Structure 1
Amino acid sequence: MAHITLVLPFALPLPEFAPDLVRALQAPALAALLSRTSSARRAPGADAAHALPHETWLARQLGLADDGPTPFAGAAMRGFGFEPGPGRWHIVTPAHIQIARSHLMMADARQVSLDDEDGRALFEAARVLCEETGHALRYGDAHTWFLRADDWTGFDTASPDTVANMDLTDFMPKGARAQAFRRLQNEVQMAWHAHPVNAAREARRLPVVNAFWVWGASVQGQPPSTKMTTYTYAVPGWLAALGQQRLASLDDLDGVLAQGGLLVAGNLGQAALAADWSDWLQGMQHLEDALFAPLLAALKDGRVRELRLVLSSREALADYTTSALAQRKFWRRPTLDSLI
């Protein structure tokens, strides 16, 4: 029988909205999974300044011990078919930065929506500038590039989801080593300012790509060491690259149910980061129908022996384990109060 770990980034709503959202959510299968458990734990995030709770949890779970809070670069490179070799590699995320009333703010990368043709065109313009300053740049997908900068040490940059829609002042790299990053950032920004891709995007009223965000540094990054098969669904490209199998939809869970492993379902991210709770409810309802209900049925009929659910928000992480035996605790009334 399979053991499954299900990771649900942003499945915990913000506390001020949680009571109303729980009342509106119709998810009896999720309620049973969260209420009839053999263990339950909830804790604040370990490093809210640089990574979200589910990101640090995944780094530990995948055995990516390194010198930063989100050392995903080397492992993600391997997922895209590159061998990092020696050196300090960083993930590069093309970004849209806008001026708010009193600060700079970076939009959620999901809203930038770059296709491969535009991504490669912007990448080529940046690659020339990077190589002129002695930095190799590699292309993973339109939203995921990799930069080698061995001397960019002594500062940690936060993950894109950590900084999305936040005041960038709190997250900009500081110190002498960060000056090189800022110089390169400025040069790339100038090259992209009049780039045909951005001119076309502006004409279509799409966010222009006017900056890049560097993060996820690793040195001699090792591949994920977990023995579990890792599946991903609706996650950013860097995270999909860490898994063995990418699920285009949740319509066919037969492989997950038969083999078990770790499944990361990331379809709630855009709605949660935008505080669009109507879309968040729709996303949770989709998970209820396509994921929670089938998993509950598989537990009850013995196809799944144990299910671990890891839910997160910006501030907290909740960890629940249930099993076929735990689901027999009929005296525990199914409730979604755990989400509050």
Structure 2
Amino acid sequence: MSQLTVVLPFALPAPEFAKELARSLNTPALAALLSRTSSHTVHPYDFAVRALPHEVWLARELGLEQAGQPAFAAAAMRGFGLDPREGTWFIVSPAHIEIARSHLMMPDLRHLQLSEAESRALFDAAVPYAEESGHHLAYGDAHTWFLRADSWAGMDTATPDTAVGMNLTDYMPAGPHALAYRKLQNEIQMLWYTDAVNAARESRRQPPVNAFWLWSGATTVLNTVVPAQAGTHAESPKSGSGPFIATFETTSWLKALGTRNLASPSEVLNITGNSLLICGNAAAPAIAADWSGWLHEMQRFEADLFVPLLAALSQGRIKQLKLVLSNRTAHTETTTTALAQRKFWRRPTLERLL
């Protein structure tokens, strides 16, 4: 493999805990990959974009930006086997919104535990309301739906992980048609309030699905050239078609952007050609500030990813490795090669996690 890029959302610890967490890590392979490098850059968060640093990086890398905003909807639809055709499509995430002391907040959607049967029932109930408003709903999977709303093109939205745990007032869709969005949201909220699915969920002490989160709109036109590396489900990359995209323990919309979902991150080493691997398993504990869980996931990375990557570099199986690590406020890009790993005078440390 000539080049491998590995994207690790939330592998950078929160700045206020970074020193203590780095001291608790036993990850010598990661230290070598981060210390013996040919380049290293730190990119601060762009507050003008309501998406997390790794999401912005992915949108730019895959050519899925519109008006400077991540626009994943159309590519994710294709990954689910849906045809967005022309129009403006948004990702719709079924959600639970709760009232905190002084504001509305949305817990991490990874913990919603929404089954396919439940999601289908709620989706089917919402379809007539969407159509009455002049919009079309399409079903991807239990956690990922899509809404066509051509008149809402350009609406400023936030990704779910950006809004999780925050005051939702600051992250609600904004723009000239935000009122129309809120009207549809309210109608569907009232519909779901008495739905049998939510009654059954509450009887099991599960949070009701009482809202939907609209985000990452993309406008498409017929005969638009689709970025070849996004949303294709070929088994291997074609010449000149961009990197092979592999995913590991990511959310379903990210899996839809990829070519193959891996059982272990080290399986990426069996892929020939330029590859991009996205690993999502550190996100949930970091978002929850569960630093014990985060340390556990980082140790999994050490055994299942960093050690095999370091060996592959040393053996010449990878010519160039780029690591993209992020937290809420920044992302780093670190490039290393077999030659860089021979810089024995550079002591391996985890200082670049700080």
Which of residues 217, 241, 244 in structure 1 aligns to 2:256?
241
In structure 1, the partner of 2:244 is 229
Which of residues 305, 308, 331 in structure 2 aligns to 1:291?
305
Question: Residue type matched to 1:163 in 2?
Answer: A
Give, in whole Å, the separation in 2 of the partners of 1:113 and 1:100: 21
Q: Does 1:250 align with 2:253?
A: no
Question: Residue type matched to 1:314 in 2?
Answer: R
User: Would the alpha carbon gap of residues 311 and 251 (structure 1) be closer, same or farther in structure 2, given more than 3 Å must change?
Assistant: closer
Secondary structure class of the residue paired with 2:308: helix
CA contact 1:48–1:315 (8 Å) conserved in 2: no
Give, in whole Å, the separation in 1 of the partners of 2:171 and 2:45: 17
Give, in whole Å, the separation in 2 of the partners of 1:295 and 1:64: 28
CA contact 1:68–1:216 (8 Å) conserved in 2: no
Give, in whole Å, the separation in 2 of the partners of 1:334 and 1:27: 10
Question: Residue type matched to 1:224 in 2?
Answer: P
Secondary structure class of the residue paired with 2:118: helix
| Count of residue correspondences | 339
Indicate the larger mover: 40-49 or 286-295.
40-49
Shift of 1:2: 3.0
Which whole-Å deviations, capped at 9, do the CAs of 1:212-248 have from their partners, x for residues lacking one? 0000101017533441100011111111111111113
Give, in whole Å, the separation in 1 of the partners of 2:268 and 2:327: 25
Give, in whole Å, the separation in 2 of the partners of 1:274 and 1:19: 19
User: Would the alpha carbon gap of residues 49 and 56 (structure 1) be closer, same or farther in structure 2, given more than 3 Å must change?
Assistant: closer
CA contact 1:157–1:216 (8 Å) conserved in 2: yes
Which whole-Å deviations, capped at 9, do the CAs of 1:183-225 have from their partners, x for residues lacking one? 1000111111111111111111112111000001010175334
How big is the alpha-carbon RMSD for the aligned residues of Structure 1 and Structure 2? 1.5
In structure 2, the partner of 1:202 is 202
Q: What runs of 5+ residues in structure 2 fail to find an aligned partner?
A: 230-241
Q: What runs of 5+ residues in structure 1 fail to find an aligned partner?
A: none
In structure 1, the partner of 2:124 is 124
Shift of 1:302: 1.1
Question: Residue type matched to 1:275 in 2?
Answer: A
Shift of 1:68: 5.1
Give, in whole Å, the separation in 2 of the partners of 1:288 and 1:245: 22
In structure 2, the partner of 1:332 is 346
Give the ranges of 4+ consecutive aligned residues of structure 1 lying more than 6 Å apart after TM superposition: none
CA contact 2:173–2:214 (8 Å) conserved in 1: no
TM-score scaled to structure 2, two decimals?
0.92
Q: Aligned ranges for residues 148-297 of structure 1 at < 5 Å? A: 148-220=148-220, 223-226=226-229, 227-250=242-265, 252-256=267-271, 258-297=272-311
Give, in whole Å, the separation in 2 of the partners of 1:107 and 1:195: 21
Which of residues 308, 313, 318 in structure 1 aligns to 2:332?
318
In structure 1, the partner of 2:320 is 306
Shift of 1:154: 4.6
Shift of 1:177: 1.1
CA contact 2:89–2:218 (8 Å) conserved in 1: yes
Give, in whole Å, the separation in 2 of the partners of 1:155 and 1:58: 20
Secondary structure class of the residue paired with 2:134: coil
Give, in whole Å, the separation in 2 of the partners of 1:223 and 1:42: 30
Give, in whole Å, the separation in 2 of the partners of 1:211 and 1:68: 27
Give, in whole Å, the separation in 2 of the partners of 1:243 and 1:72: 12
Give, in whole Å, the separation in 1 of the partners of 2:91 and 2:131: 16
In structure 2, the partner of 1:27 is 27
Q: Aligned ranges for residues 5-16 of structure 1 at < 5 Å? A: 5-16=5-16
Indicate the larger mover: 165-174 or 220-229.
220-229
In structure 2, the partner of 1:82 is 82
